[in-house]
Protein backbone atom coordinates (compact mmCIF):
# COMPACT_ATOMS: atom_id res chain seq x y z
CA UNK A 1 0.00 0.00 0.00
CA UNK A 2 1.01 3.63 -0.36
CA UNK A 3 3.50 4.83 2.28
CA UNK A 4 1.32 7.90 2.81
CA UNK A 5 -1.80 5.78 3.38
CA UNK A 6 0.10 3.53 5.76
CA UNK A 7 1.41 6.50 7.75
CA UNK A 8 -2.11 7.93 7.99
CA UNK A 9 -3.43 4.67 9.45
CA UNK A 10 -0.56 4.13 11.88
CA UNK A 11 -0.64 7.64 13.32
CA UNK A 12 -4.19 7.01 14.57
CA UNK A 13 -3.20 3.99 16.65
CA UNK A 14 -2.39 4.30 20.36
CA UNK A 15 1.34 4.57 21.11
CA UNK A 16 3.10 1.50 22.48
CA UNK A 17 5.63 2.37 25.17
CA UNK A 18 7.87 0.42 27.50
CA UNK A 19 11.15 1.37 29.20
CA UNK A 20 12.89 -1.50 27.40
CA UNK A 21 11.41 -0.77 23.96
CA UNK A 22 14.20 0.82 21.92
CA UNK A 23 11.96 1.50 18.90
CA UNK A 24 8.95 3.40 20.30
CA UNK A 25 5.94 4.51 18.28
CA UNK A 26 6.74 7.40 15.99
CA UNK A 27 10.18 6.08 15.06
CA UNK A 28 10.54 4.04 11.88
CA UNK A 29 12.96 1.11 12.23
CA UNK A 30 13.38 -2.14 10.33
CA UNK A 31 12.45 -4.30 13.32
CA UNK A 32 11.13 -3.82 16.82
CA UNK A 33 14.03 -3.74 19.28
CA UNK A 34 13.47 -4.76 22.91
CA UNK A 35 16.19 -4.64 25.54
CA UNK A 36 16.55 -8.07 27.17
CA UNK A 37 19.39 -7.14 29.51
CA UNK A 38 22.45 -4.92 29.62
CA UNK A 39 24.06 -6.77 26.70
CA UNK A 40 21.32 -8.20 24.47
CA UNK A 41 18.54 -6.80 22.29
CA UNK A 42 15.66 -8.88 20.93
CA UNK A 43 14.64 -8.00 17.36
CA UNK A 44 11.20 -8.86 15.97
CA UNK A 45 9.92 -8.38 12.42
CA UNK A 46 7.54 -9.88 9.85
CA UNK A 47 7.27 -9.72 6.07
CA UNK A 48 5.44 -11.62 3.35
CA UNK A 49 4.33 -11.00 -0.23
CA UNK A 50 3.11 -12.48 -3.51
CA UNK A 51 5.47 -14.37 -5.87
CA UNK A 52 8.03 -12.43 -7.90
CA UNK A 53 9.22 -15.58 -9.73
CA UNK A 54 7.50 -18.62 -11.25
CA UNK A 55 9.52 -21.28 -9.38
CA UNK A 56 7.88 -21.97 -5.98
CA UNK A 57 11.16 -23.07 -4.37
CA UNK A 58 13.00 -19.92 -5.46
CA UNK A 59 10.05 -17.82 -4.30
CA UNK A 60 10.41 -19.39 -0.85
CA UNK A 61 14.12 -18.58 -0.81
CA UNK A 62 13.53 -14.95 -1.80
CA UNK A 63 10.73 -14.43 0.72
CA UNK A 64 12.85 -15.83 3.55
CA UNK A 65 15.92 -13.78 2.61
CA UNK A 66 13.72 -10.70 2.49
CA UNK A 67 12.25 -11.39 5.94
CA UNK A 68 15.66 -12.00 7.52
CA UNK A 69 17.00 -8.78 6.01
CA UNK A 70 15.34 -6.53 8.61
CA UNK A 71 17.26 -8.31 11.37
CA UNK A 72 20.55 -8.02 9.49
CA UNK A 73 19.86 -4.33 8.83
CA UNK A 74 19.78 -3.74 12.59
CA UNK A 75 23.02 -5.57 13.26
CA UNK A 76 21.43 -8.79 14.51
CA UNK A 77 21.22 -12.46 13.63
CA UNK A 78 17.93 -14.31 13.06
CA UNK A 79 17.25 -16.99 15.68
CA UNK A 80 13.62 -18.16 15.39
CA UNK A 81 10.96 -17.80 12.71
CA UNK A 82 7.36 -18.70 11.94
CA UNK A 83 6.07 -19.38 8.43
CA UNK A 84 3.33 -17.03 7.19
CA UNK A 85 1.54 -18.67 4.27
CA UNK A 86 -1.54 -17.89 2.17
CA UNK A 87 -2.26 -20.61 -0.37
CA UNK A 88 -5.07 -21.27 -2.89
CA UNK A 89 -5.47 -24.99 -2.19
CA UNK A 90 -8.43 -25.35 -4.58
CA UNK A 91 -6.53 -24.15 -7.64
CA UNK A 92 -2.88 -24.99 -6.88
CA UNK A 93 -1.20 -28.31 -6.18
CA UNK A 94 -0.15 -28.93 -2.59
CA UNK A 95 3.35 -29.84 -3.77
CA UNK A 96 3.76 -26.19 -4.80
CA UNK A 97 3.13 -25.20 -1.19
CA UNK A 98 5.73 -27.75 -0.10
CA UNK A 99 8.29 -26.32 -2.51
CA UNK A 100 7.70 -22.77 -1.24
CA UNK A 101 8.16 -23.91 2.36
CA UNK A 102 11.23 -25.96 1.38
CA UNK A 103 12.80 -22.87 -0.19
CA UNK A 104 12.18 -20.91 2.99
CA UNK A 105 13.49 -23.73 5.17
CA UNK A 106 16.71 -24.09 3.19
CA UNK A 107 17.35 -20.34 3.36
CA UNK A 108 16.68 -20.42 7.11
CA UNK A 109 19.23 -23.20 7.52
CA UNK A 110 21.74 -21.09 5.59
CA UNK A 111 21.02 -18.20 7.97
CA UNK A 112 21.30 -20.39 11.08
CA UNK A 113 17.68 -19.68 11.97
CA UNK A 114 15.12 -22.21 13.23
CA UNK A 115 11.65 -22.24 11.66
CA UNK A 116 9.53 -23.60 14.51
CA UNK A 117 5.96 -23.34 13.22
CA UNK A 118 3.68 -20.97 11.40
CA UNK A 119 0.19 -20.11 10.22
CA UNK A 120 -1.57 -20.89 6.92
CA UNK A 121 -4.80 -19.55 5.40
CA UNK A 122 -6.65 -20.42 2.20
CA UNK A 123 -6.47 -17.45 -0.14
CA UNK A 124 -6.99 -16.52 -3.78
CA UNK A 125 -3.25 -16.02 -4.42
CA UNK A 126 -0.09 -17.50 -2.90
CA UNK A 127 1.69 -15.33 -0.36
CA UNK A 128 4.65 -16.31 1.78
CA UNK A 129 7.02 -14.86 4.31
CA UNK A 130 8.19 -15.14 7.89
CA UNK A 131 7.82 -13.62 11.31
CA UNK A 132 11.38 -13.49 12.61
CA UNK A 133 12.95 -13.12 16.04
CA UNK A 134 16.58 -12.07 16.07
CA UNK A 135 19.18 -11.02 18.59
CA UNK A 136 21.79 -8.28 18.60
CA UNK A 137 24.41 -7.04 21.01
CA UNK A 138 23.55 -3.65 22.48
CA UNK A 139 26.80 -2.15 21.23
CA UNK A 140 26.19 -3.52 17.71
CA UNK A 141 22.66 -2.22 17.20
CA UNK A 142 22.30 -0.45 13.85
CA UNK A 143 19.54 2.15 13.48
CA UNK A 144 18.26 4.47 10.78
CA UNK A 145 19.01 7.42 13.03
CA UNK A 146 22.71 6.58 13.23
CA UNK A 147 23.80 8.64 10.21
CA UNK A 148 25.81 11.84 10.70
CA UNK A 149 26.69 14.68 8.28
CA UNK A 150 29.82 13.71 6.36
CA UNK A 151 29.18 9.96 6.53
CA UNK A 152 29.61 8.26 3.18
CA UNK A 153 26.69 6.21 1.84
CA UNK A 154 27.31 2.62 0.78
CA UNK A 155 24.84 0.30 -0.98
CA UNK A 156 25.42 -3.46 -1.08
CA UNK A 157 23.10 -4.72 -3.87
CA UNK A 158 22.12 -3.38 -7.30
CA UNK A 159 18.74 -1.73 -7.81
CA UNK A 160 15.78 -2.42 -10.09
CA UNK A 161 14.16 -5.65 -8.93
CA UNK A 162 10.67 -4.13 -8.89
CA UNK A 163 10.88 -2.84 -12.44
CA UNK A 164 12.41 -6.07 -13.74
CA UNK A 165 9.82 -8.22 -11.93
CA UNK A 166 7.04 -6.19 -13.54
CA UNK A 167 8.62 -6.58 -16.97
CA UNK A 168 9.10 -10.31 -16.42
CA UNK A 169 5.49 -10.84 -15.35
CA UNK A 170 4.34 -8.90 -18.41
CA UNK A 171 6.42 -11.01 -20.80
CA UNK A 172 8.80 -8.17 -21.68
CA UNK A 173 11.85 -9.71 -20.00
CA UNK A 174 13.32 -13.15 -20.55
CA UNK A 175 14.18 -15.56 -17.77
CA UNK A 176 17.89 -15.22 -18.52
CA UNK A 177 17.66 -11.41 -18.38
CA UNK A 178 15.83 -11.66 -15.04
CA UNK A 179 18.25 -14.21 -13.55
CA UNK A 180 20.83 -11.78 -12.05
CA UNK A 181 18.07 -9.99 -10.11
CA UNK A 182 16.65 -13.32 -8.93
CA UNK A 183 20.05 -14.42 -7.65
CA UNK A 184 20.44 -11.11 -5.82
CA UNK A 185 17.00 -11.33 -4.21
CA UNK A 186 17.69 -14.75 -2.74
CA UNK A 187 21.08 -13.72 -1.35
CA UNK A 188 21.18 -13.08 2.40
CA UNK A 189 22.38 -9.74 3.74
CA UNK A 190 24.40 -11.45 6.46
CA UNK A 191 27.76 -10.63 4.88
CA UNK A 192 26.92 -6.95 4.46
CA UNK A 193 25.71 -6.78 8.06
CA UNK A 194 28.88 -8.41 9.35
CA UNK A 195 31.03 -5.93 7.41
CA UNK A 196 29.07 -3.07 8.97
CA UNK A 197 29.62 -4.47 12.46
CA UNK A 198 33.33 -5.09 11.89
CA UNK A 199 33.66 -1.46 10.82
CA UNK A 200 31.87 -0.03 13.85
CA UNK A 201 29.02 1.53 11.87
CA UNK A 202 25.91 2.89 13.58
CA UNK A 203 23.51 3.88 10.78
CA UNK A 204 21.83 1.39 8.46
CA UNK A 205 18.64 0.19 6.83
CA UNK A 206 17.75 -2.23 4.06
CA UNK A 207 16.36 -1.18 0.68
CA UNK A 208 12.99 -2.86 0.20
CA UNK A 209 9.44 -1.70 -0.56
CA UNK A 210 9.99 2.07 -0.30
CA UNK A 211 12.94 1.98 -2.70
CA UNK A 212 16.35 3.60 -2.35
CA UNK A 213 15.01 7.14 -2.08
CA UNK A 214 12.21 6.22 0.31
CA UNK A 215 14.47 4.38 2.72
CA UNK A 216 17.18 7.04 2.42
CA UNK A 217 14.55 9.64 3.34
CA UNK A 218 13.67 7.55 6.40
CA UNK A 219 17.31 7.63 7.48
CA UNK A 220 17.46 11.37 6.93
CA UNK A 221 14.35 11.96 9.02
CA UNK A 222 15.46 9.75 11.89
CA UNK A 223 18.95 11.28 11.98
CA UNK A 224 17.81 14.83 11.12
CA UNK A 225 20.27 15.04 8.24
CA UNK A 226 20.16 15.39 4.47
CA UNK A 227 21.84 13.39 1.72
CA UNK A 228 23.54 13.83 -1.63
CA UNK A 229 23.61 10.91 -4.05
CA UNK A 230 25.31 10.64 -7.42
CA UNK A 231 22.94 9.06 -9.94
CA UNK A 232 25.80 7.83 -12.13
CA UNK A 233 27.15 5.90 -9.12
CA UNK A 234 23.92 3.98 -8.51
CA UNK A 235 24.20 0.30 -9.50
CA UNK A 236 21.29 -0.92 -11.61
CA UNK A 237 20.70 -4.35 -13.08
CA UNK A 238 21.02 -4.52 -16.86
CA UNK A 239 17.81 -3.53 -18.59
CA UNK A 240 16.30 -1.45 -15.78
CA UNK A 241 16.48 1.88 -17.61
CA UNK A 242 14.99 0.43 -20.80
CA UNK A 243 12.08 -1.08 -18.88
CA UNK A 244 11.54 2.15 -16.93
CA UNK A 245 11.39 4.14 -20.17
CA UNK A 246 8.84 1.60 -21.47
CA UNK A 247 6.81 2.14 -18.26
CA UNK A 248 7.17 -1.40 -16.98
CA UNK A 249 6.97 0.04 -13.48
CA UNK A 250 5.09 -1.37 -10.45
CA UNK A 251 2.48 0.69 -8.66
CA UNK A 252 4.56 0.79 -5.51
CA UNK A 253 7.36 2.55 -7.36
CA UNK A 254 5.03 5.30 -8.54
CA UNK A 255 3.82 5.70 -4.94
CA UNK A 256 7.43 5.93 -3.74
CA UNK A 257 8.20 8.62 -6.31
CA UNK A 258 5.21 10.68 -5.19
CA UNK A 259 6.28 10.30 -1.55
CA UNK A 260 9.87 11.50 -2.02
CA UNK A 261 9.32 14.09 -4.74
CA UNK A 262 8.78 17.05 -2.35
CA UNK A 263 12.08 16.22 -0.63
CA UNK A 264 14.29 15.69 -3.71
CA UNK A 265 16.33 18.24 -5.65
CA UNK A 266 17.44 16.90 -9.04
CA UNK A 267 19.78 18.27 -11.72
CA UNK A 268 18.68 19.80 -15.04
CA UNK A 269 17.71 17.13 -17.56
CA UNK A 270 16.86 14.60 -14.87
CA UNK A 271 13.88 12.73 -16.31
CA UNK A 272 10.94 11.06 -14.60
CA UNK A 273 12.14 7.56 -15.47
CA UNK A 274 15.42 8.32 -13.67
CA UNK A 275 13.49 9.21 -10.52
CA UNK A 276 11.41 6.04 -10.86
CA UNK A 277 14.58 3.97 -11.10
CA UNK A 278 15.92 5.50 -7.88
CA UNK A 279 12.55 5.06 -6.15
CA UNK A 280 11.89 1.53 -7.43
CA UNK A 281 10.24 -0.73 -4.85
CA UNK A 282 12.74 -3.48 -4.10
CA UNK A 283 12.37 -7.06 -2.95
CA UNK A 284 15.20 -8.32 -0.74
CA UNK A 285 17.43 -5.40 -1.63
CA UNK A 286 20.80 -4.59 -0.13
CA UNK A 287 21.83 -2.65 2.95
CA UNK A 288 22.12 1.13 2.89
CA UNK A 289 24.93 2.09 5.25
CA UNK A 290 26.23 5.31 6.82
CA UNK A 291 30.03 5.01 6.87
CA UNK A 292 31.99 7.65 8.83
CA UNK A 293 35.06 8.86 6.89
CA UNK A 294 37.35 7.34 9.50
CA UNK A 295 35.73 3.93 9.05
CA UNK A 296 35.70 3.87 5.24
CA UNK A 297 39.03 2.07 4.82
CA UNK A 298 38.10 -0.46 7.49
CA UNK A 299 34.75 -1.06 5.79
CA UNK A 300 36.37 -1.56 2.38
CA UNK A 301 38.83 -4.06 3.89
CA UNK A 302 36.01 -5.98 5.61
CA UNK A 303 34.07 -6.18 2.35
CA UNK A 304 37.10 -7.41 0.43
CA UNK A 305 37.75 -10.13 3.00
CA UNK A 306 34.17 -11.44 2.61
CA UNK A 307 33.84 -10.87 -1.15
CA UNK A 308 30.99 -8.51 -0.29
CA UNK A 309 30.06 -6.17 -3.12
CA UNK A 310 29.27 -2.52 -2.36
CA UNK A 311 29.05 0.83 -4.11
CA UNK A 312 29.79 4.33 -2.79
CA UNK A 313 26.75 6.33 -3.89
CA UNK A 314 26.95 9.61 -1.97
CA UNK A 315 27.18 11.20 1.45
CA UNK A 316 24.99 12.53 4.22
CA UNK A 317 24.76 16.32 4.54
CA UNK A 318 23.57 18.77 7.18
CA UNK A 319 20.44 20.09 5.40
CA UNK A 320 17.69 18.12 7.16
CA UNK A 321 15.38 15.87 5.15
CA UNK A 322 16.61 17.01 1.71
CA UNK A 323 18.00 14.61 -0.87
CA UNK A 324 20.16 16.22 -3.53
CA UNK A 325 20.65 14.12 -6.67
CA UNK A 326 23.69 15.06 -8.73
CA UNK A 327 24.70 13.61 -12.11
**Per-residue confidence (pLDDT) for residue 16, from 0 to 100:** 87
Instruction: Identify the CA nearest to 33 among candidates 117, 137, 130, 148.
Output: 137
Q: Is the pLDDT of residue 1 over 90?
A: no
Longest Cα pair distance anywhere in the chain, in angstroms? 58
**Per-residue confidence (pLDDT) for residue 229, from 0 to 100:** 98
Q: Is the pLDDT of residue 43 over 90?
A: yes
Q: Is the pLDDT of residue 7 over 90?
A: no
Q: What is the pLDDT of residues 264-280, one digit of tens each?
A: 999 999 999 999 999 99
- Domains of the chain are 3-140 (3.30.1330.10), 144-326 (3.90.650.10)
Distance CA 126, CA 50 (A): 6
Read off the pLDDT band of 5 (50, 70, 90): confident
**Per-residue confidence (pLDDT) for residue 114, from 0 to 100:** 99
| Alpha-carbon torsion, ordered 251, 257, 260, 262, to 10 deg | -120
**Per-residue confidence (pLDDT) for residue 17, from 0 to 100:** 86
Instruction: Identify the CA nearest to 223 among candidates 323, 152, 148.
Output: 148
**Per-residue confidence (pLDDT) for residue 15, from 0 to 100:** 86
Query: Strand order of the sheet with strand 264-265?
Result: 203-206, 287-291, 152-155, 311-317, 226-230, 323-326, 264-265
CB count within 10 Å of CB 156 equals 25
CB count within 10 Å of CB 319 equals 15
Q: Is 14 exposed, middle or buried (0-12, 13-18, 19+ CB in 10 A)?
A: exposed
Q: What is the pLDDT of residues 292-319, one digit of tens each?
A: 999 999 999 999 999 999 999 999 999 8
Q: What is the pLDDT of residues 89-138, one digit of tens each?
A: 999 999 999 999 999 999 999 999 999 999 999 999 999 999 999 999 99
Q: What is the pLDDT of residues 184-239, one digit of tens each?
A: 999 999 999 999 999 999 999 999 999 999 999 999 999 999 999 999 999 999 99
Q: How many CA atoms lie within 13 A of 238 on its CB side?
A: 7
Average pLDDT in the 12-18 region? 88
Strands (DSSP E) along 50-178, which ranges?
Answer: 77-87, 114-122, 127-137, 152-155
* DSSP conformation class of 141: -
Average pLDDT in the 21-39 region? 91
Gap between the terminal Cα atoms of the chain: 31
Global confidence as pTM: 0.96
**Per-residue confidence (pLDDT) for residue 28, from 0 to 100:** 85
Provide, rounded to the nearest whole percent, the portion of the chain with pLDDT above 90: 92
Question: Mean pLDDT across the chain, nearest whole number?
Answer: 96
Amino acid sequence: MSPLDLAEVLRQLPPMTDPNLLTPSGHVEDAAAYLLDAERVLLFTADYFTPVVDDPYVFGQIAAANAFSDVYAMGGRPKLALNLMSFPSRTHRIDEMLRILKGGADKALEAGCLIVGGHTVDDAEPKYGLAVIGEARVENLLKKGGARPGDRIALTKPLGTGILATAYKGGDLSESEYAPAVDSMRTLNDGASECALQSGLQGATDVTGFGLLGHLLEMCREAEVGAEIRFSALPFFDGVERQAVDQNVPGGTYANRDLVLPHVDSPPGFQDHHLLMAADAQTSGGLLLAVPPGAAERFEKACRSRNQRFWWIGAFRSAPCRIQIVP
